[in-house]
Amino acid sequence: MEARAPRGTSDILPGEARLWQEIEATVRDVMRVYGYGEIRTPVFEYTELFARGVGETTDIVEKQMYTFEDRGGRSLTLRPEGTAPVVRAFVQHRLHGEGLPQKLWYCQPMFRYERPQAGRARQFHQFGAEAIGSLDPALDVEMIAIPIEVYKRLGIRGFEVLVNSIGCPVCRPAYRERLKAYLAQRIDRLCPTCRARFERNPLRVLDCKEEGCREATAGAPAAWDYLCDECGLHFESVQRVLAVLGIAYRLDGRLVRGLDYYTKTVFEIVTDGLGAQGTLAAGGRYDGLAAELGGGDYPAVGFAGGMERAVLALKAAGREEGKAQGRPDVFVVRLGERAWNEGIALAQRLREHGVAAQIEYAAELGKARSMKAQMKVAGRSGARLAVIAGDDELSRGTVALRRMDDGTQWEVPVERLVDAVKEQLGGGGRLA
């Protein structure tokens, strides 16, 4: 067989994993300061959850889900997005009883059957947050502020915030009809896919990248001109809070989301320079989802950001992958039969004192590598210090300590080794 990860999946090797850890740590801390609690939901759910929650006619449900039947005949689906499971958990565990709104965050893998390309995979990872049980526009803005804070802390710049309101079940039908009337007069100028969209989801025509479609829809009515009183007031409030927080944004009447549950506020944080998939994070309000899942009337808002895209953005900002293995503080070089074993104990003792100590291993049983080879690995490892344990030194009850930066070297008694190493490394265990 050929050793190969399935199409659209990838291994995150140690060098890149360090970037992931940095992003995860940043997400975790930003969520902490914003007062969100972590939730982890199952990798698979009953298929019905996504069919009802995300929408039967969305691309995700129609052609992108990994759906299978288990041995009990249940239809299960690998989670293609994060919001529906979180809301399901909110309803299932009656989290409204813990106080409202419930503020939850996650960072989990998602699965969609798509053709892979830059910034898109079949297994990918999203970090996100959901605030369930409040209509407060401040929460809409929080969902924009959180990812911005994450990117700022990571040193990712050059993104733009797009905001729109697509109304609610009260006002959207009217806008939809108005838009259809407008499009009907220009139907011949639309691309074939947009002609198909015209019936099923006319809002998506606004989102088309085809030049002809963009020209045809240049003067199309904007959703915000047709909002009902409640949606209009809410939209104004969102913009007011954005202004209060000094968040730069651009109103974009063409911004439409592909999931059925969105109401009122929708937004995207986009950047160029990552290829065609420039959306770093996106989200919006979904006031009807909890009710749709049988949980009562709990308006909510959330966002999700792509981890892989954050990694791409981090690299685009000039960040390098780390070394595969972390830099050790010291490298124990062993010489002679006795030292080959006792050196392991020295490394062990250093580790017990919190010092990162590495040794070089034999390629073949009973064949120690030459000192030169061990020193070469020590140098390459980036270790600050080498502990040279030779039979000669050990017979004197000492080992040699060598600074790898300037090559100075001296002997210390074995029982003083840990202290001597810490002295060299400085208080925190790292080189001062």
* Residue ranges in 125-164 that form contacts with RNA under rule CB under 7 A: 126
- Nearest 5°: CA angle at 355, between 352 and 357? 95
Closer Cβ to RNA, 33 or 363, answer by number: 363
Closer Cβ to RNA, 216 or 280, answer by number: 280
The answer to whether 258 contacts RNA (rule: CB under 7 A) is yes
- For the chain, helix, strand, coil in percent to 5 are 40, 20, 35
- DSSP annotation string for 177-210: HHHHHHHHTTGGGS-HHHHHHHHH-GGGGGG---
The answer to whether 124 contacts RNA (rule: CB under 7 A) is yes
Sites for RNA among residues 45-74 (CB under 7 A) = 58-60, 64
Closer Cβ to RNA, 221 or 258, answer by number: 258
Q: Binding mask 362-401 vs RNA (x if CB under 7 A, - otherwise)?
A: -x-----xxxxx-xxxxxx-----x-x-xxxx------x-
The answer to whether 85 contacts RNA (rule: CB under 7 A) is no
Count interface residues toward RNA (CB under 7 A).
71
What span, in angstroms and rounded, lies between the C-alpha atoms of 261 and 285?
8
Closer Cβ to RNA, 36 or 111, answer by number: 111
Sites for RNA among residues 10-29 (CB under 7 A) = 10
Closer Cβ to RNA, 234 or 254, answer by number: 254
Sites for RNA among residues 319-358 (CB under 7 A) = 335
What span, in angstroms and rounded, lies between the C-alpha atoms of 114 and 127?
20
Residue listed under structure tokens 């989102």:
207
Closest distance to RNA from the beta carbon of 291 (Å): 20
Sites for RNA among residues 161-190 (CB under 7 A) = none
What span, in angstroms and rounded, lies between the C-alpha atoms of 127 and 405?
41
Sites for RNA among residues 271-300 (CB under 7 A) = 275-282
What span, in angstroms and rounded, lies between the C-alpha atoms of 174 and 170?
8
Nearest to 53 by CA among 289, 288, 257: 289
The answer to whether 302 contacts RNA (rule: CB under 7 A) is no
**Residue 64 CA: distances (Å) to CA of 96, 117, 127, 170:** 32, 15, 20, 30
